[in-house]
Amino acid sequence: MSLILDLATWSAIGAGCVFILVGTLGLLRLPDVFSRLHGAGMTDTLGAGLLVAGMLMQTTDWLVAAKLVLILVFLAFTSPMTSHALARAALHAGLQPWTRDKP
Amino acid sequence: MFAAAAFALLVAMGMALVRALMGPTVYDRILAVNAFGTKTLLMIAVVGYLTERPEFLDIALVYALINFIGTVAVTKFVRFRSLGHPVGDAPEGEI
Amino acid sequence: MGRTVSLAVVMALLWLALSGHFEPWLLGLGVASAVLVAWIARRLEAVDHEGHPLHLAPRGLGYWPWLAAEIVKANVDVARTILSSPASVDPAVFRVKAGQKDELGLVIHANSITLTPGTVTMDVEPDGWLTVHALTPATRAGVESGEMDRRVSRFVGEA
């Protein structure tokens, strides 16, 4: 039983790390600030979610589990708000989104 | 396995720092610092598990809130050069 | 009044989950602080259908799992786009009309679009037009298909 739990934890944390690294790679590779928002969004959603899921599986105390879930809930509310605030501020500051036909 | 997660987070934090230093616009830098903060909060939680001290999760929770408020405040300041009353003809609360 | 009471109960439960103390004296202090904050929020007129949308909770149980599944799918999509050659990145900015009349529904719709990687809401107009930035043509088609619009409308009870 504990072996299965450990395997599940390993795969969740490993997949979470992969998503975090790929999202940050997007932060470096994508062409402009609007498309980089998508890369940062990956870290906030599935990367954090899988890492927290992995930690949840190693927890027996319900208070610790509640705090872990609360971290996810906070991230789910705050991440789109910061993305939207940044995109809106950049758009109203006059930044032109990069597109393929108009680089 | 938490050590591996901590290492991956450290690498990702370094990559976010590179973007924060490269720019090119100020919004890129704000975005990179926000992503850096998200990774820091995950790092705090992971270190809490590494050292078997679940109290670290409280710090991670507070860090999540500070990261959000800080990013929005810096965005608003960069956009309007003011955190208080709206400047010009921009309506209050606009970002 | 019912909303204020439910806000106080929710905040007392949050206090309990964050503190983990069960001594009568500390429990009393926690309940007192929850009631005080609920009273202040009521005086600020922040406890309405937007500030404490408890009526959405039952239907949310149908919406949030669907949103979580969409987020997982979009994450895999964006990861593939980032890892493949730069030629597959083809961002576009477009406008869609959201069907929600209420501001709460609009905010939920815009936040759901932003929360799924691959699409970011850049601007929301009060009459329901959303300006959306999409990373690839596939994510753009996902927003323009209007499925999220229908589900949010059902979620906030406008469909």
Q: What is the pLDDT of residues A17-41, one digit of tens each?
A: 999 999 999 888 888 888 889 888 8
Using the beta-carbon criterion (under 8 Å), do A84 and C86 form an inter-chain contact? no
Q: Look at residue C64 and tell me if it is in a domain.
A: yes
What are the residues facing C95 on neighbouring strands?
A: C131
Q: Which of A62-76, B78-92, C61-75, C139-153 has the lowest mean pLDDT?
A: B78-92
Closest-approach residue (CA) in chain C for A75: C115
pLDDT digits (tens, 9 = 90+) for B12-26: 999 999 999 987 888
- The reply to whether C151 and C100 lie within a common domain is yes
- The reply to whether C29 and C83 lie within a common domain is no
Q: Look at residue C51 and tell me if it is in a domain.
A: no
Q: Look at residue C119 and tell me if it is in a domain.
A: yes
Using the beta-carbon criterion (under 8 Å), do A51 and B42 form an inter-chain contact? yes
- Grade residue A58 by pLDDT with cuts at 50, 70 and 90: confident
Decide which of B93 and B34 is more confident. Answer: B34
- For residue C93, list chain A residues with Cβ-Cβ distance below 8 A: 34, 97, 99
- The reply to whether C76 and C102 lie within a common domain is yes
- The reply to whether C92 and C34 lie within a common domain is no
Residues spanned by the domain of A6: 2-92
Q: Look at residue A101 and tell me if it is in a domain.
A: no
Query: Is residue B95 predicted with pLDDT exceeding 60?
Result: no
Q: Look at residue C38 and tell me if it is in a domain.
A: yes
Using the beta-carbon criterion (under 8 Å), do C114 and A41 form an inter-chain contact? yes
Task: Tell me the nearest-neighbour CA distance from A21 into chain B, angstroms.
Answer: 6
Contacts of A48 (CB under 8 A, 6+ apart): A16, A20, A71, A72, A75, B38, B42
Give the span between the Cα atoms of C123 and C39, in whole angstroms. Answer: 34
- A→C contacts (Cβ < 8 Å), by residue, are 18-19, 22-23, 25-26, 29-32, 34-35, 37-39, 41-42, 45-46, 63, 66-67, 70, 76, 79-81, 83-84, 87-88, 91, 97-100
Q: Residue written as tokens 């905010």?
A: C107
Domains of chain C: total:
2
Angle between helices B26-50 and A48-57 (to 10 degrees): 10
Q: CB distance from A101 to chain B under 8 Å?
A: no
- The reply to whether C33 and C73 lie within a common domain is no
- The reply to whether C37 and C80 lie within a common domain is no
Q: Look at residue A40 and tell me if it is in a domain.
A: yes
Q: Look at residue A61 and tell me if it is in a domain.
A: yes
Q: Look at residue C98 and tell me if it is in a domain.
A: yes
Q: CB distance from B44 to chain A under 8 Å?
A: no
Name the DSSP class of A97: P
C46 to A29, C52, C57, C70: CA distances (angstroms)? 43, 8, 18, 32
- Token output for A93: 């500051």
Q: Look at residue C83 and tell me if it is in a domain.
A: yes
Task: Tell me the nearest-neighbour CA distance from B81 into chain A, angstroms.
Answer: 12
Give the span between the Cα atoms of A36 and A57, in whole angstroms. Answer: 32
Q: Look at residue A97 and tell me if it is in a domain.
A: no
pLDDT of residue B94: 55
pLDDT lower than 70: segments of chain C: 159
Residues spanned by the domain of C140: 57-155
pLDDT digits (tens, 9 = 90+) for B21-65: 987 888 999 999 999 999 999 999 999 988 888 889 999 999 999
Using the beta-carbon criterion (under 8 Å), do A98 and C91 form an inter-chain contact? yes
Q: Look at residue A25 and tell me if it is in a domain.
A: yes
- For residue B35, list chain A residues with Cβ-Cβ distance below 8 A: 23-24, 27, 40, 43
- For residue B12, list chain A residues with Cβ-Cβ distance below 8 A: 20-21, 23-24, 43
Domains of chain A: total:
1
Instruction: Report the neighbours of B using a cutoff of 3 or more CB pairs below 8 angstroms.
Output: A
- The reply to whether C38 and C104 lie within a common domain is no
Using the beta-carbon criterion (under 8 Å), do B30 and A78 form an inter-chain contact? no
Q: Look at residue C50 and tell me if it is in a domain.
A: no
Q: Look at residue A28 and tell me if it is in a domain.
A: yes
Using the beta-carbon criterion (under 8 Å), do B57 and A85 form an inter-chain contact? no
Task: Tell me the nearest-neighbour CA distance from C40 into chain A, angstroms.
Answer: 22
Looking at the partner chain, which of A25, A64, A89 has a beta carbon nearest the beta carbon of B57? A64
